[in-house]
Amino acid sequence: MKGILLILILTTNCTFAQSAKIDSLVSIIVNANVVSGYNKGINGIISPEYQAYQGLIRTCKSEDLIALCKHQNPCVRCYAFLALIHTNKNRAEEIFSNAEIDHEEVTLISGCFGQRITVSDFMKSRGREIENPLIFRF
């Protein structure tokens, strides 16, 4: 009985810790409120939001990423979709094909250049990676 209780406590603690880590990563993306590539700005720094995206790849399960694809913040939805492409192309394809048109805009920054793009257009442009992962490395 004590063994079962110990396993239950350890499982609960691990789940809570992972949930807290995901919330922390999402908070970084929400606060930045931009979608940036690996390098950002004239100095080519690795942005905190891109580091958070890499953390989502390492931390989240497919189910977590699918839930984040419906997050209220459009930048989180974009990064979650990218992470899903990276970790589970089949599930990303399902999200892409079933996605409703999302007209909310995000600021997309690549190096020194920025543009406004809708979440749907972002997903369409990155959806090509599902078929050919070497097209674009973000």
- Among the residue ranges 11-15, 31-35, 39-43, 81-85, the one predicted with the least confidence is 11-15
Confidence (pTM): 0.80
Query: What DSSP assignment string belongs to the chain?
Result: -HHHHHHHHHHHHHHHHHHHHHHHHHHHHHHH--EEEEEETTTTEE-HHHHHHHHHHHH--HHHHHHHTT-SSHHHHHHHHHHHHHH-HHHHHHHHHHPPP---EEEEEEETEEEEEEHHHHHHHHHHHHH-TTS---
pLDDT at 121 over 50: yes
Q: Is residue 64 part of a domain?
A: yes
Strand order across the 35-40 sheet = 45-46, 35-40, 105-111, 113-118
Instruction: Tell me the pLDDT tens digit for each residue of 16-75.
Output: 567 889 999 999 999 999 998 877 766 778 889 999 999 999 999 999 999 999 999 999
Residue 45's domain comprises: 2-131
Counted domains in the chain: 1
Residue 23, amino acid: D
Q: Is residue 138 part of a domain?
A: no
Percentage of the chain modeled with pLDDT above 90:
45
pLDDT of residue 90: 87
Q: Is residue 136 part of a domain?
A: no
pLDDT of residue 132: 56
CA angle, 5 then 6 then 10, to 5°: 120
Q: Is residue 44 part of a domain?
A: yes
Q: Is residue 13 part of a domain?
A: yes
